[in-house]
Amino acid sequence: MFGELKPEVLLPLLETPLGRAYRYLRRTTSTQDAVKAWAEEGAPEGALVVAETQEKGRGRRGRPWQSAPGASLTFSVLLRPRLPPERFPLLSFAAGVALREACGVGGLKWPNDLLASDGRKLAGILLEAGRGYVVLGVGLNIREAPPGAAALAEFGPVERLEVLAGFLNRLGHSYASLEAGFRGDSRVAGFRGDSRVDKVSQVLTAWRRYSLTLGQEVLLETPQGPLRGRAADIAEDGSLLVEVSGTIRRVTSGDVALIGTFGERP
């Protein structure tokens, strides 16, 4: 039942360092915690933990995340980014694009959800920083979903191995490109010496292409209180630009409801 995700099956499909150090677990508290512990032991960049069951799986703001053995895909990967810390949110956007392309369906909700075309949640992405590293976690409903959410198998045949490998390869290439842009490293294919902005722009342009948020009326729950307006764009640092009574407001964190879209309400 679970053999398709074993290392000997996954590793030959990988194109970048992401996932080459791999621990496949039947059960753990949380893949985020497992990767953090491994990182503290000196795990290499790209280290991957996949778990069939998480006893304390979580999403953003500590919300619980359910996973079902063989019916979901829950994993975390270790990054040691050589990016300015203020640019770390770009990793979440790059991951969102990689996940959307690996799944082939749905759209992206700011800042880090993959939604089905009818607005039900397919997946969430969690980015947590440690001491000199970042842990990127993904929870994806494959064959089963909690009430009100969607499963990828509803939209066509799906194999967990193909989704996982596709995500890791896409993110690995995007991540290397972003880092090259900030290092000025001309050894990465396609890199031009003055293309730092280009690399950021490529990630954000791809995210905009798959966005279900931009152009919509939104209600945001922010640390400063609720904010309602039209989602106009995303800034270079990943902030959401919201038009409120003709004025653009920059939101760096918060929960979004898409007003009048997919039946979402304030």
Q: Which of 1-15, 73-87, 99-113, 118-132 has the lowest mean pLDDT?
A: 1-15
**The Cα angle at residue 41 between residues 40 and 47, in degrees rounded to 5:** 85
Would the pLDDT of 96 be above 50?
A: yes
Task: Encode pLDDT of 42-87 as tens digits.
Answer: 999 999 999 999 886 555 555 556 677 789 999 999 999 998 888 8
217-258: CATH topology: SH3 type barrels. (2.30.30)
Determine the average pLDDT of the residues in 244-264. 85
261 falls in which pLDDT band (50, 70, 90)? confident
Read off the pTM: 0.89
Closest residue by Cα to residue 26 from 68, 58, 80: 68
More confident residue, 35 or 62: 35
192 falls in which pLDDT band (50, 70, 90)? very low
Q: Which of 22-36, 98-112, 194-208 has the lowest mean pLDDT?
A: 194-208
Task: Encode pLDDT of 40-54 as tens digits.
Answer: 999 999 999 999 998
Rounded-to-integer distance, Cα 134 and Cα 240, Å: 22
Rounded-to-integer distance, Cα 168 and Cα 48, Å: 10
Considering the four listed CATH numbers 3.30.930.10, 3.40.50.300, 1.10.3720.10, 3.40.30.10, the one that applies to the domain covering 3-183 is 3.30.930.10
What residue ranges do the domains of the chain occupy? 3-183, 217-258
The type of residue at 171 is L
